[in-house]
Amino acid sequence: MPDIPFDNTYARLPERFFAKQDPARVPMPEGIRINASLAASLRIDPDWLASSEGIAMLAGNTIPIGAEPLAQAYAGHQFGGFSPQLGDGRALLLGEIIDTDGVRRDLQLKGSGRTLFSRGGDGKAALGPVLREYILSEAMHALGVPTTRALAAVTTGETILRQDGPLPGAVFTRVAASHLRVGTFQYFAAQQDREAVRELADYTIARHYPEVHNQNHATCPYLTLLKSVIQSQAELIAQWMSLGFIHGVMNTDNTAISGETIDYGPCAFMDAFHPQCVFSSIDQQARYAWGNQPSIALWNLTRFAETLLPLFDDNTERATDMAKSALSEFSDYFGQQYMTRFRAKFGLPVDAPETIIQRGLSLLADQQIDFTLFFRHLTRIAAGDSPETLSSMFTDKGPFETWFTQWRDASDPAKRLPSLRAANPILIPRNHRVEQAIQAAYAGDYAPFHRLTDALATPYSEQENEADLETPPTPDEIVTETFCGT
């Protein structure tokens, strides 16, 4: 077995941060897909990873030298309700690797069996959710969004039981800047374990926000940590929204402190635009709708701030004021990020009135226009096409024509095209395509999964042979609900 250059730090933290656990053995590991370029960036030989030895490791049947498998402890607010103990119930951190850019990355198996945190669950993952996370996380990366990555997907030869019956088992290998969550802080804060919160905060600063230490010594480093996390969340959510992405389970245990998108359960990209759009079958109250994401992020950040209060000041009132003041900056910061992204998306200059963006989005919502396709056609107009195709998307032409004239007058013909091209993907992982790829895989055909994953690697490029992946679903292809499937 070749050396995987593990350099573990989480395993050196106090024992109450995790539970050591080896992966479960599985009967018949088989590779589905290996991410060769990601493997190379982690200094893992992609050919070895794709070999039977590599697949055995990815399925959890062998533990590579230097790995220290462990389940991380965390808590979390799920749909607003607090669970003091969640933790990795079906995932194991194998260890960390410094990648070729010098960034420390976690290597994690998901679906590798029961842990101390499994509660009633089997610790396993079904094939569908594994493929979903592979497609979605790699698509997000190619779209330029901070995200955990997919190193590999393998099947295990096991059959696992889920609500809709027996399904093939699979293991997903996730690579992340870290798996530290708001919920990790909550776990210790709920136990009033102030020392652990401090240790975790110091660890987080060293790993993700080392610049905190460059600041003026009079400022509390933990307050700067909070501000840094507020900024990275604001940037992330603005980016999600500009792509029509709905995370679907923005629980505090699914909010990564690094600012990466994590946990691709029932997430989805919108087809027809609507701010209240929701797909997740478990989000009955539409808590995590597209347009609610900034306020939910702020809610989650407020829970994060609460865990840090004792580190800010011994005086609770002073500490609370410090947290409030930091949190109050979220909304302006998010607003700027959002407007910057949407200005670029509409190809508008910085001094263009925001009302053009707001009216444009209302128009899309009123007439249920496909979000991605609208911007695709707008880009074509900027490239010299007639407005006819765009206009034909609207049943009520009057409001569209009024808006279009405003847009044309406000945008600079010499500058809008590069902006539109850079901000608007041609290809997104549309729900119906993801669903078709999963269903084909269940029937033994992985070709649609590979084709979709390959095409999504260059989402901003014209790919003539993939034109059918661009189009919105036909009425019978529409996916109205997405599932966690765990």
User: Would you name the residues annotated as active-site residues?
Assistant: 253
Paired tokens of 51: 């070999």
255: left (phi > 0), else alpha (psi -120 to 50), else beta?
A: beta
Distances (CA, A) of 338 to 129, 143, 250, 361, 364: 30, 16, 18, 13, 17
Asked whether position 263 contacts Mg ion by CB under 5 A, the answer is yes
Binding mask 35-74 for ligand AMP (x = CB under 6 A): ----------------------------------------
Q: Measured from the CB atom, is 121 or 349 closer to ligand AMP?
A: 121
- Report CA-CA distances (Å) from 95 to 81, 104, 221, 310, 325: 31, 10, 27, 30, 37
Element (H, E) at 98: strand 91-98
State the minimum distance, in angstroms, from the CB of residue 65 to ligand AMP: 27
| Residue 353: Cβ within 10 Å count | 11
Please check whether residue 244 is in contact with residue 459, taking contact to mean a CB–CB distance below 8 angstroms.
no
Instruction: Give the shortest CB-279-to-ligand AMP separation in angstroms.
Output: 15
Q: Rounded to whole angstroms, how far apart are CA atoms 486 and 484?
A: 6
123 binds, among Mg ion, ligand AMP, none (CB under 5 to 8 A by kind): ligand AMP
Q: Nearer Cβ to ligand AMP, position 448 or 485?
A: 485
For Mg ion, the closer of residues 182 and 357 by Cβ is: 182
Under rule CB under 6 A, residue 281 binds ligand AMP: no
Site string for ligand AMP, 114-133 (x = CB under 6 A): ---xx--xxxx---------
Q: CA angle 484-369-246, nearest 5°?
A: 25
| 183 is a contact residue toward ligand AMP (CB under 6 A) | no
Question: Is the CB of residue 7 less than 8 Å from the CB of residue 94?
Answer: no
Least distance to ligand AMP from the beta carbon of 239, Å? 21
Nearer to ligand AMP, 256 or 361 (CB): 256
Q: What is the DSSP string of 436-449?
A: HHHHHHHTT--HHH
Please tell me the distance from the alpha carbon of residue 280 to that of residue 268, in angstroms, as a whole number: 8
Q: Does 158 bind ligand AMP (CB under 6 A)?
A: no
The rounded distance, in Å, linking the Cα atoms of 39 and 37 is: 5
When asked if residue 367 is in the footprint of ligand AMP (CB under 6 A), the reply is no
- Which listed option, Mg ion, ligand AMP, none, makes contact with residue 85 (CB within 5 to 8 Å by class)? none
Q: Tell me the window of 83-91, 94-102, 378-386, 427-435 that interacts with ligand AMP (CB under 6 A).
A: 83-91
Residue 144 backbone zone (phi > 0: left; psi -120 to 50: alpha; other: beta): left
By C-beta, is 119 or 415 nearer to ligand AMP? Answer: 119
Name which position in 8, 115, 147, 254 contacts Mg ion (CB under 5 A).
254
CB of 44 to ligand AMP, least distance (A): 25
**Phi then psi dihedrals of residue 280, to 5 deg:** -60, 130
The least CB distance from residue 18 to ligand AMP, in Å, is 13
Determine the residue type at 358: Q
In the complex with ligand AMP, which residue's Cβ is closer, 118 or 458?
118
- Whether 471 and 373 have beta carbons less than 8 Å apart is answered as yes
Residue 125 CA to residue 86 CA, distance in Å, equals 17
Closer CB to ligand AMP, 90 or 105, in the complex: 90
Stretch of 226-234, 263-271, 323-331, 384-392 contacting Mg ion, by CB under 5 A: 263-271
Q: Looking at 169-177, 222-230, 248-256, 314-322, which segment touches Mg ion (CB under 5 A)?
A: 248-256
Copy the structure tokens of residue 297.
Answer: 């992020």
Closest residue to Mg ion, judged by C-beta, is: 263
- Binding letters toward Mg ion, positions 195-234, x by CB under 5 A: ----------------------------------------
Which amino acid type is present at position 406? Answer: Q
Residue 357, C-beta contacts closer than 8 angstroms, at least 6 positions apart: 339, 342, 343, 346, 348
Given 4, 23, 41, 88, the residue binding ligand AMP (CB under 6 A): 88
| Distance in angstroms (rounded) separating the CA atoms of residues 65 and 41 | 19
Number of residues that bind ligand AMP (CB under 6 A): 18
Helix-, strand-, coil-residue percentages of the chain, each rounded to 5: 45, 15, 35
Q: Is 115 in the site for Mg ion (CB under 5 A)?
A: no
According to the binding rule CB under 5 A, does residue 137 interact with Mg ion? no
- Contact between 186 and Mg ion (CB under 5 A)? no
Q: Looking at beta carbons only, is 262 or 357 nearer to Mg ion?
A: 262
Residue span 241-270 as binding mask against ligand AMP, x where in contact by CB under 6 A, dash where not: --------x---xx--------x-x-----
Residues forming the site for ligand AMP (CB under 6 A): 86-90, 117-118, 121-124, 249, 253-254, 263, 265, 484, 486
Residues forming the site for Mg ion (CB under 5 A): 254, 263
